[in-house]
Chains A and B, each alone.
Chain A
Amino acid sequence: DIQMTQSPSSLSASVGDRVTITCRASQGIRNDLGWYQQKPGKAPKRLIYAASSLQSGVPSRFSGSRSGTEFTLTISSLQPEDFATYYCLQHNSYPLTFGQGTRLEIK
């Protein structure tokens, strides 16, 4: 099974900050990775697909990138509505696997 190691597990930041969240895959997964945002009591929402493509309707302050087996989600300027938990998901092969999640909190 492919393991996804996500870091950090939690992060405190302020409105306007630039933040990055990283997922490392245990083996090559090409660009078969998405990033999801989840707010309390809500279903996850996809932000990024194919490692770096922005989902329709998602603000352009969100971006994704890949370097080998390391994937990064960047929020260029945090907005109040961005405080949530973020997950990566690899869909290269079954079983699909999520990162452990990053809880983004207001400093």
Chain B
Amino acid sequence: EVQLVESGGGLVQPGRSLRLSCAASGFTFDDYAMHWVRQAPGKGLEWVSGVTWNSGSIGYADSAKGRFTVSRDNAKNSLYLQMNSLRAEDTAFYYCAKDSCSSTTCGLDYWGQGTLVTVSS
């Protein structure tokens, strides 16, 4: 059974940093691209970032470029999102999601339950 478990969320002050983690199990992690998607409370879904199986191709939403960095450690079956210079508008549930493909994007087939990031003073 595919499992994705996010961690690292919490309350953080504007301008500070936070690192999210996603622990994957139930599939061969380095066979698939991975993504981060967020959802502000009561709002729609917003794709944040994606990374191919070998980190050879990485993409970011405009809202994340220059502030967020996605990475993965295939030996640890883990995906990360380093978030710097956080703003109030970054407040959201952050979901880790598995792609159906490895070196391109075929859609997100499994999702974690999310971790809440709240940016507030």
Contacts and interface: CB of A to CB of B under 8 A. Distances in A.
Contact of B35 (A1, A50, A55, A96): A96
Contacts, number: 64
Interface string B23-53: 0000000000001000000001111001000
A46 B100 CA distance: 11
Contacts of A44: 45, 95, 108, 111
A49 B105 contact: no
B108 A46 contact: yes
A14 interface: no
B109 interface: yes
Contacts of B108: 34, 36, 44, 46, 89, 91
B107 A91 contact: yes
Interface in A73-107: 87, 89, 91, 94-101
A51 to B, nearest CB: 10
A49 B45 contact: no
A55 B109 CA distance: 9
A5 to B, nearest CB: 13
Contact of B47 (A32, A50, A96): A96
Given A34-B108, A43-B111, A55-B109, A95 B59 contact: yes
B92 to A, nearest CB: 13
Interface string B88-121: 0000000100001000011111011110000000
Contacts of A38: 45
A91 B100 CA distance: 11
A96 B50 contact: yes
Contact of A34 (B95, B107, B113): B107
B11 interface: no
Nearest to A96: B47
A96 B58 CA distance: 12
Interface of A: 1, 32-34, 36, 38, 42-46, 49-50, 55, 87, 89, 91, 94-101
